[in-house]
Structure 1
């Protein structure tokens, strides 16, 4: 594997080596290229049709593994067909929405497959949501049918009194003791025929397949629309051209099915060439490798901090006792990339960049280090003003591209080949679009992400817009500060954000830390940070927490942390301030000085 330090440009020699390394699998790559070229929004094709083709071609191959159970492609396709027929019997028509709130289990994936085979839209609700937030998600999709797993009873109960569902919405319960007013989903499916629904063969790729909800880390969720077209492009580009799984492979997935990494990346890569999906109920750092071994997985997917959680587990002689040769996902930080790969003996890391609502993706298809990969579509990295949180325009009103090696806002051109499917809430769409970017009348999607131009059409993720803040006239990327903190012995998790300090411009850095050691050594941490970071990037405040709050997809929740800041009345946990050569306990006296401006950071 070619070594690249964090931020280093991609070297042509390393890229050529990566391209040459793919030659033994050139037929799979060619098939992906061919499918990508044929993939047009108006073409006939769908997720359900791909499943149907595999059931016809390899009926006895394993499609799904869960605990100690297995389903062949013929069995799983027939199950999905019964689910499709049950949806039709409940009055669901092509283009209408079926909301699904259920944890990771075979019944969930079968229901999803059934919905899209019918030409309906599966709205993948986050089963961790409650009350008004869950009601808001349901209102965004206005489902004709709701399928709820019994394990989500608490979430459903939290909707009591909320105007979440239209009166005509049919409610189905997947589990024992079906509540009054609900249909028994399993019984409804069991009485249906298992033949392929005729709608599957007529679905156009441009039709919607899923509603994927944003995590809501910075506000109420939005429902992004995932079309069959984007899913098929992912299957060809990420699945066949990059992952290149074989029918004998098993991809292990511990990410929730309501997330695109599971539903599109994992399932798409598996269906690309008839491999098996090993589905886990949920991610567990202590059980991860045992489940990988029990399923004989040859690949797995990751997101966010999952890899760091695995690294934090005690080393074991079994760390390399597995069959995994490939991992795919996003969010593997450059500072732990080599350590993770070397400890667990992973041959290839297919890091990628993408978002549920984005119209493009970058993929590390050539096994380069510390990069989110390559994208052939039209994109640009432009100068960004972090204070105003907007792209910079020149005197002519046009955006300005950064130089190679520079950091800027990633934008992608909206075109027929790269459409913006947007959100169910049309009012949210325009806010994500930039117009008259480089010429009058053009339209570009604003990813909201700051990335580094590594050259040769490769990028490295830097930070989310809004996470990067400005202090002492300099831009501070939270990911770089978090990386420095995570290199310090004893710190398990670090979440960095900017907070306002009276009498100062910009925002000062603050870090919420979870530490393995009971004794907090403020001087040691201050010394280590000053050695690793520019002075302006060293956090002014530290907050200690037993553990950090994360979403189900391992994104840190920063909204409350930013709001509470270093306010002693709002924060009951230990707070420290950088004072001289050490972080010292934030006292009421120092807090008063900070508020009055007499304590100068």
Structure 2
């Protein structure tokens, strides 16, 4: 016979269950909202606390060194580096940089591969209040020279590696005497005009730098510049100030990242994905970071098992290669508790999570220069987050959340009501992704403020407000989940990189037989992002496309554009369609893609084997698709 206590407990359980059913009836999305907004509120509280206490990243790093000096901070090529050792190397960099007589906020550009030197070089510069411009080590020629010059760096540090040195040699004359220090080589191994950072590190002392040297650092002081492609063409340095450093270093709080975690880093550290996510969050928590110089799908799980990795940072394109590796009985043998990243296609998501037994995939969406982000914390396949009616309450109490507004794809601008205000979308609609700009904002990009203005929307919901426009379209489903749909304006993503249509246009337009160029991204089945396609109008509209023209286009792109930015397809048109404001219309072109069954204009595809562009026809289009380009 049950006792009174058992009856009471049973009654209480029944009442609780009934209450939960009632709540779910009245608020059908309450569980997903709790999973979404609970972690967001917790993370925001940590960010606010960090801002209030001015917990700048280098100070947090030094605190971690004091807390557990012998703990492993970095693992690279099977070598382990403790917090204490990394700090000593950073101190050496700081003491060397002190001898350069630079001022607070001066910029040092670094071109360094994925390796521990990237980490301690950045931290050493931070110790004396210098900003680090992270230069893409894949760049050569004009894009590399532009990236270095636009940074206005007073000094350049080049990492170890013959290819990096060769790239710098090729543009040395254009750097106008900027001092260049090279890691990994002695002075006797370097050509004239280059100095050995390696020799200086051997002589430098690892003594700590007095914090007073950086006492004038504030929330708006730049800590680094991470380059992004945009409407101006060549790479632009996005400003990551100290406040943003604090904010991004807390983002892994969403899944309780802590000092026991080990994160696997295979994306470039010059990207925000690896830098602000993996690197900054590992400093904040005292976690361990496994760095691989170059991504390898075949060694991916081998490394993860060897180093007891618990967190994977991904971009969608990366996991597609991992899934393509032959199956193994060890596929599910690992300690990974979460995969965090962006750009994961739903079909790859399902296969990756199921095959490799990943408990939690947290898809996010943001921008290097953006002022906020959205994160899917509920494991909802394909979604980047959710914006339920509860978000309206969060906005009302001052919580900085992203918004979705109606957008006119023809005029490339938000739709506004009769009062000139932007219009929030409803479930089942698509809209432009925007976020509020905080008081700590100190500019999106280094350079003319006109670049910033292109990203700012004013008088959005009320007079005087201003928001950051990501330039991306999102879909809100009837369950209030948000899904990425497409980029608008002048950039698209291919091979894990942002491609600037303006940059490609500027390069192709210099060919003397081309009258006009319209560049856009097109979907290719089975691939991530959008492949570049250039619609070209010739000076002589009645002339035929010749093999010499196609070879010239290929040579031009190969010489002046990174591989990911070179157009995969060409389309030769007699006339372009433009909007009322004389902007190139891309809607119809994107819709038609590169389908030779629909398009009567001459079509061509990049033919790297023959170093030209070859004709794309109904007979070879299928074969190209099967090869996935």
Give the deviation of 1:221 after TM superposition.
0.9
| 1:73 aligned to which of 61, 70, 83 | 83
Partner of 2:128: 118
Is structure 2 residue 417 aligned with structure 1 residue 384? Answer: no
Shifted more, 386-395 versus 334-343: the winner is 386-395
Instruction: Note if 1:230 corresponds to 2:238.
Output: no
Whole-Å Cα distance in 1 between the matches of residues 153 and 532 of structure 2?
37
Between the aligned partners of 1:293 and 1:563, the Cα distance in structure 2 is 47
> 1-side partners of 2:384 and 2:623: how far apart?
40
- Helix, strand or coil for the counterpart of 2:246? helix
CA distance 1:186–1:556, change in 2 (3 Å): closer
8 A Cα contact 2:151 2:446, kept in partner: no
Hey, what's the Cα distance between the residues in 2 that align with 1:357 and 1:461?
18
Determine whether 1:203 maps to 2:217.
Answer: yes
Question: What residue number does 1:575 align with?
Answer: 616
SS in 1 for 2:171: coil
- Describe how 1:52-91 pairs up with structure 2 within 5 A: 52-91=62-101
Q: Is the 8 A contact 1:124 1:211 kept in 2?
A: yes
What is the DSSP-based 3-state SS (H/G/I as helix, E as strand, rest coil) of the residue aligned with 1:410? strand
Q: Secondary structure of the equivalent of 2:569?
A: helix
Q: Could you tell me how far 1:70 is from its partner in structure 2? A: 0.8
Q: 2:339 matched to which residue of 1?
A: 327
Q: Kindly report structure 1 stretches of 4+ aligned residues shifted beyond 4 Å.
A: 29-33, 215-218, 417-420, 454-458, 492-502, 562-566, 568-571, 582-586
- RMSD of equivalent CA atoms: 3.5
Distance in 2 (CA, whole Å) between partners of 1:116 and 1:373 is 34
Instruction: Tell me how far apart the structure 2 counterparts of residues 457 and 245 of structure 1 sit (CA, whole Å).
Output: 27
Question: Unaligned stretches of 5+ in structure 2?
Answer: 1-26, 388-398, 493-519, 538-557, 573-593, 595-600, 607-612, 625-629
Distance in 2 between the 1:418 and 1:79 partners?
32
- C-alpha displacement of 1:585: 10
Find the aligned partners of 2:310 and 2:480 in 1 and give their Cα distance. Answer: 29
Work out the CA distance in 2 between the residues paired with 1:343 and 1:420.
43
CA contact (8 A) 2:536 2:570 kept: no
SS in 1 for 2:249: helix
1:103 match = 113
**Structure possessing the higher radius of gyration over alpha carbons:** 2
Q: Is the 8 A contact 2:220 2:242 kept in 1?
A: yes
Number of the residue aligned with 1:15: 32
- The answer to whether the Cα contact below 8 Å between 1:51 and 1:271 also exists between their aligned partners in 2 is yes
Q: TM-score, normalised by structure 1?
A: 0.75
Structure 1 unaligned residues grouped into runs of 5+? 1-9, 469-476, 487-491, 503-548, 587-601
Q: 1:435 aligned to 2:444? A: no
Q: Give me the whole-angstrom Cα distance separating, in 2, the residues matched to 1:11 and 1:130.
A: 54
User: 1:264 deviation in Å?
Assistant: 0.5
Following superposition of structure 1 onto structure 2, how do residues 260-339 of structure 1 map, counting pairs within 5 Å?
260-339=272-351
**Do the aligned partners of 2:265 and 2:313 also contact (CA within 8 Å) in 1?**
yes
Q: Does the Cα contact within 8 Å between 2:404 and 2:474 map onto a contact in 1? A: yes
How far the C-alpha of 1:18 sits from its partner, in A, is 3.5
Deviations 1:517-576 (A, max 9, x none): xxxxxxxxxxxxxxxxxxxxxxxxxxxxxxxx9xx99x9546463567664577544623
Q: Does residue 220 of structure 1 match 2:229? A: no
Give 1:185 deviation, angstroms.
1.0
Confirm whether residue 561 of structure 1 aligns to residue 602 of structure 2: no
Partners of 2:114 and 2:169 in 1: CA distance: 20
TM-score, with normalisation over the residues of structure 2? 0.72
CA deviation profile, 1:450-484 (whole Å, cap 9, x unmatched): 1122478752221111479xxxxxxxx979x55xx
**Given that residues 358 and 420 in structure 1 are in contact (C-alpha distance below 8 angstroms), is that contact kept between their aligned partners in structure 2?**
no
- CA gap of 1:494–1:460, structure 2 versus 1, over 3 A, is closer
SS of the residue corresponding to residue 246 of structure 1 reads coil
Whether contact under 8 Å (2:533, 2:571) holds in the other structure is no
Question: Contact 1:103–1:127 at 8 Å: present in 2 too?
Answer: yes
Aligned residues: 499
Cα 1:16–1:216 shift into 2, 3 Å: closer
Residue range with higher mean Cα deviation, 413-422 or 301-310: 413-422
Equivalent-residue separation in structure 2 for 1:584 and 1:304 (angstroms): 24
Q: 2:418 aligns with which of 383, 392, 395?
A: 395
